[in-house]
């Protein structure tokens, strides 16, 4: 390296090198200055030779309203993005003022998700709305800002231009011809699930590799819960309404869903966490809080083994067994093997109530409960009016796996709290808690009319286990994702969308078919 230093010094000192560096610097500065002038004065670009002008001017043919297309116009990519962003701002403000439900759609939705802005190479914007919203747009008088034109198909109030049913409405920037397209979504039902579907634009029909719409139009249907409740999300320096689809909503949510996890008898928090791991593919969006039951109990088979004589108290098996006993926990000690006096159940209940109040205060905000076996029985009771009165807390959702009706101290006679969404999972070959016992819990949850459409049932073909099959995992994740979006929507949506959140809750396709799906052993 030292040998090269004199050569580099001489090279930099030469007039040729100095001239070359100066030339590069001047060229770069001139190019930058010309670019800045071009952004502020597009007339300057029109005066440049065609070849040079193409470095800044974007192609305007195609996605430009034909009534305002100017062949001689020269618009930079930055100016195009600014114009489309302002279109989104103007149109969303118009619709928000009338409480008309709309949402970002297609490439504009993608831009919001990626960068909370217009995609740099996008040349229009897309909104979606229901048929009801479109009819309000069509039949109402709107205060359209100067420089913009509202075009609506079959309207007696607004210009129709060349709108048709493919794209029945459009807000146009009259300066350059950029626009916001409006796609109308009709409501329908499929397998009992409320759906939304739009008619594709003529661009779709021109696509040689796209599905033939006369045969596959039904594939453009999406569940209504993908869209509603609407969320207000950032876009550039303002807020817009977006559909509540999981990944889009993840940019708008403020915190994770938090679930209290209650293990089965003879388990503990660590064991339950391990057994539910295959189901917890939503860990990034859900915080699972695992608790240890307040009572230590020993399975009868281990209790009998511990009474047998042993060669030495230091036998490794005896040591491991002693350690294992401390890991067997329960939420209450059942009568029979572990205690004989029925009145002792009341004492256990007092201990459990104090324990739960302490833990709920300790862990903070919790949205729901997940329980297995005895833990599911307790979780079911925590959904009751009696539990709400005693704990001063109630879940918004519950996942009950292998549940059953507990002792009279945890009766559900007080009724289930309205508006709790529940998922009940049990095995048709469960010989510990027969399916009939789990079905009793389901029936009680369904007893209240307000809950009937919020109670989901999934039956697998295994025994008294937490199922690990794909069907159960997908259903579990789908249920939690949907409940999370509903909770987010209740605090994030506009006043008009808030009314949607109070409507009959929709089910995912997985949920709607839950009772028909089974897991293989």
Instruction: Check residue 72 and give its pLDDT.
Output: 77
**3-state SS string over 67-114?**
HHCCCCCCCEHHHHHHHHHHHHHHHHHHHHHCCCCCEECHHHHHHHHH
Supply angle C-alpha 464, 470, 476, rounded to 5: 70
Cis omega (within 30 of 0) on the bond before 433? Answer: no
Place of tokens 């399975």: 299
pTM: 0.54
Strands 103-104 and 125-130: antiparallel
Instruction: Check residue 52 and give its pLDDT.
Output: 52
Chain Cα centroid distance, residue 486:
9
Domains annotated on the chain, with CATH: 80-249 (3.30.460), 257-294+331-516 (3.40.50.1820)
CA distance 231 to 80: 27
Instruction: Check residue 169 and give its pLDDT.
Output: 96
The pair of structure tokens assigned to 70 is 């100017």
Instruction: Check residue 500 and give its pLDDT.
Output: 36
The pair of structure tokens assigned to 252 is 């708008």
CA distance 36 to 334: 79
The pair of structure tokens assigned to 345 is 């159940």
CA distance 436 to 498: 39
Instruction: Check residue 246 and give its pLDDT.
Output: 45
CB atoms within 10 A of CB 66: 9
Q: What stretch of H or E contains 322?
A: helix 316-325
Chain Cα centroid distance, residue 520:
29
Q: How far is CA 232 from CA 134, 336, 391, 496, in A?
A: 20, 56, 34, 12
Q: How far is CA 268 from CA 38, 246, 348, 487, in A?
A: 69, 32, 18, 29
Taking only the tens place, the pLDDT of each residue in 385-438 is: 999 999 999 999 999 999 999 888 999 999 999 889 999 999 999 999 999 999
Query: Which residue from 71, 20, 487 is spatially nearest to 285, judged by alpha carbons?
Result: 487
Hey, what long-range contacts does 320-323 have (CB within 8 A, 24 or more apart)? none
The SS3 of residue 381 is helix
Query: Which residue from 360, 363, 364 is spatially nearest to 388, judged by alpha carbons?
Result: 360
Residue ranges in the chain modelled with pLDDT below 50: 39, 41, 50-51, 216, 246-248, 311-312, 319-320, 323, 491-521
Instruction: Check residue 513 and give its pLDDT.
Output: 35
CA distance 480 to 285: 9
Taking only the tens place, the pLDDT of each residue in 467-520 is: 988 888 888 888 887 787 666 655 443 333 333 333 323 333 333 333 333 333
């Amino acid at each position: 390296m030292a040998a090269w230093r004199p050569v580099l010094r001489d090279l930099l000192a030469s007039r040729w090198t100095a001239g070359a560096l100066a030339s590069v610097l001047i060229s770069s500065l001139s190019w930058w200055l010309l670019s800045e002038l071009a952004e502020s004065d597009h007339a300057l670009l029109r005066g440049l030779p065609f070849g040079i002008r193409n470095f800044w001017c974007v192609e305007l043919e195609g996605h430009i309203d034909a009534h305002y297309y100017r062949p001689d116009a020269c618009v930079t990519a930055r100016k195009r993005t600014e114009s489309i962003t302002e279109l989104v701002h103007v149109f969303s403000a118009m619709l928000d003022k009338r409480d008309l439900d709309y949402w970002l759609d297609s490439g504009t939705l993608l831009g919001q998700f990626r960068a909370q802005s217009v995609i740099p190479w996008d040349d229009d914007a897309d909104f979606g709305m229901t048929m009801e919203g479109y009819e309000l747009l069509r039949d109402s008088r709107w205060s359209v800002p100067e420089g913009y034109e509202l075009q609506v198909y079959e309207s007696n109030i607004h210009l129709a231009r060349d709108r048709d049913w493919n794209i029945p409405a459009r807000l146009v920037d009259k300066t350059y011809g950029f626009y916001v397209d409006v796609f109308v979504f009709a409501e329908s039902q499929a397998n009992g699930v409320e759906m939304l579907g739009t008619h594709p634009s003529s661009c779709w029909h021109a696509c040689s590799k796209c599905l033939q719409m006369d045969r596959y139009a039904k594939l453009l249907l999406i569940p209504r819960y993908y869209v509603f409740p609407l969320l207000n999300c950032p876009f550039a320096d303002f807020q817009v309404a977006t559909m509540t689809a999981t990944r889009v909503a993840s940019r708008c949510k403020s915190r994770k869903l938090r679930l209290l996890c209650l293990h089965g008898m003879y388990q503990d928090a660590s064991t339950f966490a391990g057994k539910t791991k295959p189901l917890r593919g939503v860990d990034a969006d859900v915080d699972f809080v695992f608790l240890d039951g307040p009572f230590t109990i020993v399975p009868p088979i281990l209790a009998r083994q511990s009474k047998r004589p042993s060669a030495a108290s230091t036998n490794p098996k005896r040591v491991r067994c002693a350690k294992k006993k401390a890991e067997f926990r329960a939420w209450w000690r059942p009568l029979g093997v572990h205690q004989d006096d029925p009145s002792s159940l009341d004492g256990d209940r007092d201990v459990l109530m104090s324990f739960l109040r302490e833990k709920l205060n300790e862990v903070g905000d919790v949205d729901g409960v997940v329980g297995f076996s005895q833990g599911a029985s307790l979780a079911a009771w925590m959904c009751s009016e009696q539990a709400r009165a005693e704990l001063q807390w109630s879940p918004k959702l519950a996942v009950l796996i292998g549940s059953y009706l507990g002792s009279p101290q945890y009766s559900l006679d007080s009724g289930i709290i309205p508006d709790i969404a529940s998922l009940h999972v049990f095995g048709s070959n469960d010989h510990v808690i027969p399916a009939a016992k789990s079905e009793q819990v389901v029936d009680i949850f369904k007893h209240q009319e307000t809950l009937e459409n919020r109670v989901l049932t999934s039956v697998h073909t295994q025994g008294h286990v937490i199922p690990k099959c794909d069907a159960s995992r997908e259903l579990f994740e789908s249920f939690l994702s949907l409940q999370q979006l509903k909770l987010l929507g209740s605090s994030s949506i506009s006043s008009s969308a808030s009314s949607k959140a109070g409507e009959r809750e929709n089910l995912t396709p997985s949920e709607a078919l839950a009772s028909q799906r089974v897991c293989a052993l």
